[in-house]
């Protein structure tokens, strides 16, 4: 069990969870506060905006939910038909989504944009949805990279099992996944102090491309050999 916590798949999950954190920070710090990883928040906004007489809030949150689900669906279709030899192929779709978001923002606002418009954010959300299908076992997502609530629930259950006579391995893996997401968000926040707007998307696209290159050409090859 302990070896599984630190194996290559686990290490990759930390990297991609960190990437999800960076993407969340990119959108939150350089837009009107849109959530690209927090779908629970978007679901509440989609409903509660009407009670605050803020229809725009409800509509934008609902659109983000649809874009996230669309990313999951499209990535799942691609996994089935295009990426049978690449278990972590959805990272490619995430990178393409970020590049498209960058291009759209440049076309719309130019390189000097300080805040990201809603349209590029929808593409980022689509990419995050795709990213969450990077780890699949028996047709179901085994490691939800941006679903921090679920990770904390599993970590808490692991802590209880440890107290009841188990080991730290019962919760350590979930803690490391959570910590990776938080560190990614912190890194994104730090980057936002140096660049903003369109350039924040450029940095995020570059980081995602590096992660994609590693998973597509190195990690996936080892996964198939194993």
CA–CA separation, 226 vs 218, rounded Å?
Answer: 13
As a whole number, mean pLDDT of residues 150-159 equals 93
Mean pLDDT estimate for the chain: 85
- Domains contained in the chain, number: 1
Structural domain harbouring 192 = 2-221
CA–CA separation, 34 vs 26, rounded Å?
Answer: 10
Q: Which residue has the tokens 């923002």?
A: 105
Q: What is the CATH number of the domain that holds 60?
A: 1.20.1250
The pTM of this model reads: 0.88
The encoded tokens of residue 210 equal 């590096």
Specify if 186 maps to a domain. yes
Pick from 114-123, 141-150, 217-226: least confident: 217-226
Q: How far is residue 110 CA from its own chain's centroid?
A: 26
pLDDT (0 to 100) of residue 225:
45
Specify if 69 maps to a domain. yes
Specify if 203 maps to a domain. yes
CA–CA separation, 190 vs 72, rounded Å?
Answer: 29
pLDDT per residue over 38-83, tens digit each? 888 889 989 988 888 888 889 999 999 999 999 999 999 988 887 7
Q: Which residue has the tokens 């038909």?
A: 81
Specify if 121 maps to a domain. yes
Specify if 226 maps to a domain. no
Q: Is 140 exposed, middle or buried (0-12, 13-18, 19+ CB in 10 A)?
A: exposed
CB 90 within 8 A of CB 130: yes
pLDDT per residue over 85-106, tens digit each? 666 778 889 999 999 999 998 8
CA–CA separation, 136 vs 2, rounded Å?
Answer: 21
Dump the DSSP string for 171-223. Answer: HHHHHHHHHHHHHHHHHHHHHHTT--THHHHHHHHHHHHHHHHHIIIIIHHHH
When mean pLDDT is compared over 153-157, 167-171, 220-224, the highest value belongs to 153-157
Specify if 117 maps to a domain. yes
Specify if 20 maps to a domain. yes
Pick from 56-70, 157-171, 185-199: least confident: 185-199
Specify if 214 maps to a domain. yes
């Amino acid at each position: 069990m302990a070896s599984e916590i630190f194996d290559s798949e686990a290490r990759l999950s930390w990297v991609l969870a960190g990437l999800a954190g960076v993407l969340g920070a990119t959108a939150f710090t350089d837009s009107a506060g849109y959530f690209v990883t927090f779908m629970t928040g978007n679901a509440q906004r989609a409903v509660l905006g009407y009670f605050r007489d803020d229809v725009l809030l409800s509509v934008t949150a609902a659109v983000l939910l649809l874009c996230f689900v669309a990313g999951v669906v499209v990535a799942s279709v691609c996994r089935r038909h295009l990426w049978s030899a690449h278990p972590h192929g959805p990272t490619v779709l995430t990178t393409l989504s970020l590049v498209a978001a960058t291009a759209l923002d440049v076309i719309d606002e130019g390189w000097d944009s300080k805040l990201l418009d809603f349209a590029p954010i929808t593409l980022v959300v689509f990419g995050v949805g795709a990213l969450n299908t990077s780890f699949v076992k028996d047709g179901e997502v085994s490691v939800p990279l941006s679903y921090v609530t679920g990770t904390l629930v599993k970590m808490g259950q692991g802590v209880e099992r440890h107290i009841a006579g188990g080991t730290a391995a019962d919760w350590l893996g979930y803690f490391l996944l959570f910590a990776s997401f938080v560190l990614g968000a912190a890194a994104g926040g730090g980057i936002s102090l140096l660049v903003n707007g369109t350039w924040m998307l450029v940095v995020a696209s570059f980081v995602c491309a590096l992660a994609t290159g590693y998973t597509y050409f190195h990690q996936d090859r080892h996964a198939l050999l194993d």
